Amino acid sequence: MINADTKICCLIGNPVEHSLSPLIHNAGYQALGINYAYVSFRVSDIKRAIEGIRGLGIRGASVTIPHKVSAIKYIDKIDPPAGEIGAVNTIVNDDGVLTGYNTDDDGALKALEEVTTLGGKKAVLIGSGGAASAIAVGLKAKGVKLVVLNRTEDKAIKLAEKVNAEGFGSLKKLSEISSADILINTTPVGMLPKTGRSITPKDLLHNRLTVFDIVYNPKDTRLLIEARERGCAVVYGYKMLLYQAARQFELFTGLKAPLAAMESALTQALKGGRDATHFDRR
Ligand code: ATR
């Protein structure tokens, strides 16, 4: 029941229409029976949106494309890993003091660590955008040897320099996968509606590899299907979506996230073929 005591959390981004975040967070509030509600705001002016968070006493916000970098200018404090990543996907309002966090790195690491250990492993990371940056910072902190590959080589070089990666290059260097333990796709390639695509040729996949595709719609991307056929362990993109939301939930409420209820709402929506896009990842 929404009433005068309801604490409001929200998503700010553009577009937000197809985001699964309201579904995941509200499923969590319902499971715990707490007086919270989560809504979406399509926002073009991030400065005024953040003033609105202060003015209305909104408890917390998830921040998505295109505001994850620009939001930093308007908050009061930043959690150090988010500062290193250079982007926030979460804002928590403690009595008017706004702190920015990034839960993408933790979400990705938790999803990966369910399937493999990380320390000392070699990972090939494909892509150099916002998600790649968060994952790269997280992997380096875990002692992973990292090779960053991207369609636009300059961006791979920049990200590799930023995180002190062991290697970088264009997509011509995909043969690096043959000596890798972990392969991560952070690009939208393979996402609905163009599901038949994968950047990595199937014959480069080998059975010592763990393959993580952050695309979650469809759950089984071409990359993950081919990885399984080649005997690789696989990590589903929806797990990262779930775990980054669960950490946000804990930051917003101070309570342990009810993962089973949140996961069930998410997987049911994905099964129902909800039209979620890469840009509405959270
Ligand atoms: P996000 O914040 O979701 O990571 P992003 O910052 O727009 O999104 O980054 C998207 C990444 O996917 C980029 O590395 C992009 O490569 P470029 O730097 O060359 O643009 C990569 N990408 C997008 N479409 C791609 C495609 N069709 N083939 C290969 N890489 C692609």
Can you spell out the DSSP letters for 43-82? -S-HHHHHHHHHHHT--EEEE-TTSTTGGGGG-SEE-HHH
**Averaged pLDDT of the chain:** 95
Q: Using CA positions, which residue lies closest to atom 30 of ligand 1? A: 151
Q: Look at 1 and 128; give whichever has higher pLDDT.
A: 128
Q: Is there a contact between 215 and 191 (Cβ–Cβ < 8 Å)?
A: yes
Q: Is there a contact between 210 and 116 (Cβ–Cβ < 8 Å)?
A: yes
- Given this model, what pLDDT does residue 276 score? 47
pLDDT above 70: percentage of residues in the chain:
96
Q: Which of 68, 110, 140, 239 is catalytic?
A: 68
Residues belonging to the chain? 282
Where is average pLDDT lowest: 17-31, 60-74, 237-251, 267-281? 267-281
Residues within a 6 A CB radius of ligand 1: 127-132, 150-152, 155, 186-189, 199
- Given this model, what pLDDT does residue 248 score? 98
Q: Side-chain half-sphere of 224: how many Cα atoms within 13 Å?
A: 20
Distance 150 CA to ligand 1 centre (A): 8
pLDDT band at 271 (very low <50, low <70, confident <90, very high): confident
Nearest-atom number in ligand 1 for the CA of 127 is 14
The model's pTM? 0.93
Distance (Å, whole) CA 243 – CA 66: 21
Residue 241's CB is within 10 A of a number of other CB atoms, namely: 26
- Given this model, what pLDDT does residue 282 score? 45
| DSSP code for 151 | S
pLDDT band at 273 (very low <50, low <70, confident <90, very high): low
- Among residues 178, 182, 104, which one has the least CA distance to residue 145? 182
Asked if 68 is an active-site residue, the reply is yes
pLDDT band at 280 (very low <50, low <70, confident <90, very high): very low
Element housing 233 (H / E): strand 233-235
Give the mean pLDDT of 187-199: 93
Q: Is the pLDDT of residue 243 over 70?
A: yes
Q: Please, what sign has the CA dihedral across residues 132, 134, 140, 144?
A: negative
Q: Is the pLDDT of residue 277 over 60?
A: no
- Given this model, what pLDDT does residue 272 score? 77
Would you call 245 exposed, middle or buried from its count of C-beta atoms within 10 A (0-12, 13-18, 19+)? buried
Q: Which residues contact 31 (CB under 8 A, 6 or more apart)?
A: 258, 260, 261, 262
Q: Using CA positions, which residue lies closest to atom 2 of ligand 1? A: 130
Distance 128 CA to ligand 1 centre (A): 7
- Mutating to test ligand 1, I would choose from 135, 151, 157 the residue with most ligand atoms within 8 A of its C-beta, which is 151
Give the mean pLDDT of 168-175: 98
pLDDT above 90: percentage of residues in the chain:
93
